[in-house]
A and B are shown apart, each in its own frame.
Chain A
């Protein structure tokens, strides 16, 4: 391994980290703005032009708050909770293919931090660890409301991971690969997976709402019943980390949705651009397209949040176990039959 690749990957990782943070920051503003617009209001507009400095003001406010510790023996775990949430939220971005390769000074630069051949499994693994952040935080708070919120979050995330995994099985049956870069490359031009796996996409979409603890599945922090859920006892920047981790994981899960089902960096007419304007331009355009898709999914998350009321706990469990899992299994069976009949014409 030469030094150039270390430098290249280093710069790339820092850039991805910065972009994720920037997105998470401005998602907080976007959420408030979109909430306002959907309710016929105008939202925050005092900090900077159009409220553009609002996230900074929010961050400053959180930093200047009192650092409060509840009467608990588990101070270490109490600090671990938000840290784990944040780390897992950021770790997923390692395997995301952000674009096809760029040619810089005669070197092919792959726009992916690491291309492991079990990319999807890695994403799932990291997502599953995410539940520990909430679980440990809720447990260490030494508070009944926190514990109940954490229990809800844990059971919800575990339940929906099953349906999510089953949705992915149907997808991998088509793509014949677990590597995210292969899946992204396989959706060349218009052959986006959502067109072949609409049901799988729907299941995956619903499950990613549950995995990120977003409305209508935000029972873990349901204010009406649990005060603040697992982060009731948190204050200052530890609280900020939990909120930030939620927004960061929203960005990452939007990215995963775009990469798995909405053609990643592929767009119709990309071959034409490549032939006429060169590979680099086509590749940069592809990155732009990916970010447009990500922004759409982030908007969709917020749009859903201000439309659908929160599910009751029994409805949540019923939807997960009795609706989505049978649907996902049926999806696998039908996909299998179709692949058998049309052989390999469906993919690639």
Chain B
């Protein structure tokens, strides 16, 4: 076998321009072969997912919407260090830090907290680097199947703390489960 005929994929077929015989030029055999191939597809499993009724199965490493976590006493973990914003390749995260007042000790764990924490969902690529960067384990990408709804207003896509921070009842449930164990 000469080097020209080697096919790495094993699918290479030499083009031949030989003249067709009368029977071949009627295309009957070729069409019959083709018909057999297509009729097989009539009985194969269909790949379509009927979207609103069925949804696609998610990957085990799927990353959904972000959540700002609370600790087991229900205090926000975020200390507004800005590492998540720094690590974000899409520059989707903005925050404003503020010093904790003495009467806010039950609200925030660290002495500094994020008074504003915003993620622009139009920019976010759900890569999970913020989650990796966070030293306080404050931000996580959940397995939430809720997709960001389409909208005509850009402001709607900037998620603030009211959408990102873990709901309190969820934090309470987590703590209860931990103490039960």
Q: CB of A334 within 8 A of chain B?
A: no
In contact, A37 and B28 (Cβ under 8 angstroms) = no
Q: What CA separation (Å) do A53 and B20 show in the bound complex?
A: 47
Contacts of A155 in B (CB 8 A): none
In contact, A39 and B22 (Cβ under 8 angstroms) = no
Q: Which residues in window 1-58 of B have CB below 8 A to A? A: 22, 25-28, 31, 34-35, 37-39, 41-42, 44-48, 50
Q: Which residues in window 182-237 of A have CB below 8 A to B? A: 202
In contact, A41 and B39 (Cβ under 8 angstroms) = no
Chain A residue at minimal CB-CB distance from B32: A307
Given A307-B34, A307-B35, residue A38 in contact with residue B25 (CB < 8 A): no
Q: Which of A34, A41, A303 contacts B35 (CB 8 A)?
A: A303
Q: What CA separation (Å) do A306 and B37 show in the bound complex?
A: 11
Contacts of B25 in A (CB 8 A): 318-319, 323
Q: Number of A residues whose C-beta is below 8 Å from B?
A: 18
Q: Which residues in window 95-154 of A have CB below 8 A to B? A: none
Q: What CA separation (Å) do A303 and B50 show in the bound complex?
A: 25
In contact, B31 and A308 (Cβ under 8 angstroms) = yes
Chain B residue at minimal CB-CB distance from A34: B42
Contacts of B37 in A (CB 8 A): 307
Given A202-B28, A323-B25, A323-B26, residue A38 in contact with residue B38 (CB < 8 A): yes
In contact, B42 and A37 (Cβ under 8 angstroms) = yes
Q: Which residues in window 33-91 of B have CB below 8 A to A? A: 34-35, 37-39, 41-42, 44-48, 50
Contacts of A37 in B (CB 8 A): 41-42, 46
Q: What CA separation (Å) do A307 and B37 show in the bound complex?
A: 8
In contact, A38 and B41 (Cβ under 8 angstroms) = yes
Q: CB of A275 within 8 A of chain B?
A: no
In contact, B41 and A304 (Cβ under 8 angstroms) = no
Given A307-B31, A308-B31, A323-B25, residue A42 in contact with residue B38 (CB < 8 A): no
Contacts of B41 in A (CB 8 A): 37-40
Chain B residue at minimal CB-CB distance from A327: B26
In contact, A303 and B44 (Cβ under 8 angstroms) = no
Q: Which residues in window 305-319 of A have CB below 8 A to B? A: 306-308, 318-319
Q: What CA separation (Å) do A73 and B33 show in the bound complex?
A: 49
In contact, A41 and B42 (Cβ under 8 angstroms) = no
Q: CB of A45 within 8 A of chain B?
A: yes
In contact, A45 and B50 (Cβ under 8 angstroms) = yes
Chain B residue at minimal CB-CB distance from A300: B35
